[in-house]
Amino acid sequence: MRIATWNVNSVRQRLDHLLTWLKECRPDIVCLQEIKCMDDAFPREPIEALGYNVVTHGQKTFNGVALLSKYPLDEATPRLAGDDLDEHARFIEGVVSLKSGVVRVACLYLPNGNPVDTEKYPYKLRWMERLREFTKLRLKTEEPLILAGDFNVIPHARDVHNPAAWANDALFKPETRESFQALLGLGMTDALRAVTDDAGQYTFWDYQAGAWQKNWGIRIDHLLLSPQASDRLVDVGIDKYVRAWEKPSDHVPVWVDLDLEVA
DNA sequence: ATGCCTTAATGTTTAAGA
């Protein structure tokens, strides 16, 4: 089973890229972030025509997440628990039945948190706490769980071309990285780091200053695996090639292959 | 150099992103 995540930076602007990539990558489950549209504006028909079930948690202009699945979604639950007043559309969890049990996939768009001297940074840290509480709860089930999305967290200096320039950024500040490590400490595995220690495994290149051409990238799109998912890990990939397409998203897709059998 | 692009929308400018 191939599970992928991609921050498309507007699904309507990126529809041609998305359809082309779906046909090439052939993922079974896809987590999309920054769809930047309401549910009724999501281009579901051409995606359904490729064999996907589609569930969305959209928002006007900003944020918005979606799950695409070749298999029926037994459940699809929007919103991360822990703050009923949080109106941002940043989370949707789906459940797919396996021959033995289920697999849970949480699609998330973690807050950016910049500028750090505003309310945006504490909002990010609170959101990360809520994600830890959610994960703690799910881990008790001992089911395969995948947290997939744009975490807006650079985990380590090897994940950024110029660590010093990012030292005080919300994506790389010590508090941010410590909170991410605490999430891993619950028992989650950073899939990419399970297969390589290499530096420069970037998933995002800024539109500005020729960042792509200079390979000034960062790794902020992640798939975190529970022990029951990590035990089934076969492969991990970063589809860097789509960043070279015309009018690309600033993020590229990341995927894992897991040896799980669908019911 | 805390913004050199890109996006959506109270649109001929602003806010947000990372």
Would residue A6 count as lying in a domain? yes
Per-residue model confidence as pLDDT tens digits over A21-43: 999 999 999 999 999 999 999 99
Out of A52, A71, A109, A202, the active site residue is A109
Per-residue model confidence as pLDDT tens digits over A193-242: 999 999 999 999 999 999 999 999 999 999 999 999 999 999 999 999 99
Would residue A95 count as lying in a domain? yes
Count structural domains, chain A: 1
Note the pLDDT of residue A141. 97
> How far, in Å, CA of A223 to CA of A146, rounded?
6
Check: CB of residue A177 under 8 Å from CB of residue A119. Answer: no
Would residue A103 count as lying in a domain? yes
A105: containing domain: 2-258
pLDDT lower than 50: segments of chain A: none
Q: What is the torsional sign of CA A189, A194, A197, A200?
A: negative
Task: Quickly list DSSP for chain A.
Answer: -EEEEEE-S-TTTTHHHHHHHHHHH--SEEEEE---S-GGGS-HHHHHTTT-EEEEE--SSS--EEEEESS--SEEEES-TT-TT-----EEEEEEEBSSSEEEEEEEE-----STTSTHHHHHHHHHHHHHHHHHHHHTTT--EEEEEE-----SGGGBS-GGGGTTSTTTSHHHHHHHHHHHHTT-EEHHHHH---S---SEE-SGGGHHHHT-EE--EEEEE-HHHHTTEEEEEE-GGGGGSSS--SB--EEEEE---B-
Would residue A242 count as lying in a domain? yes
Would residue A263 count as lying in a domain? no
Would residue A194 count as lying in a domain? yes
CATH number of the domain residue A57 falls in: 3.60.10.10
In Å, what is the separation between the CA of A99 and the C1' of B17?
A: 41
Would residue A183 count as lying in a domain? yes
Note the pLDDT of residue A229. 98
Angle (CA) A39 A49 A99, round 5°: 90
Q: Which residues contact A11 (CB under 8 A, 6 or more apart)?
A: A18, A32, A35, A36, A37, A42, A43, A64, A66
Protein residues with Cβ atoms closer than 7 angstroms to any atom of nucleic acid strand B? A 7, 9-10, 12-13, 34, 36-37, 60-62, 111-112, 114-116, 120, 150, 152, 168-169, 171, 204, 206-210, 218, 220, 247, 250-251
- Phi and psi, residue A80, nearest 5°: -90, 130
Place of tokens 């292959």: A257
Note the pLDDT of residue A115. 94
Q: Is residue A150 annotated as part of the catalytic site, yes or no?
A: yes
Would residue A167 count as lying in a domain? yes
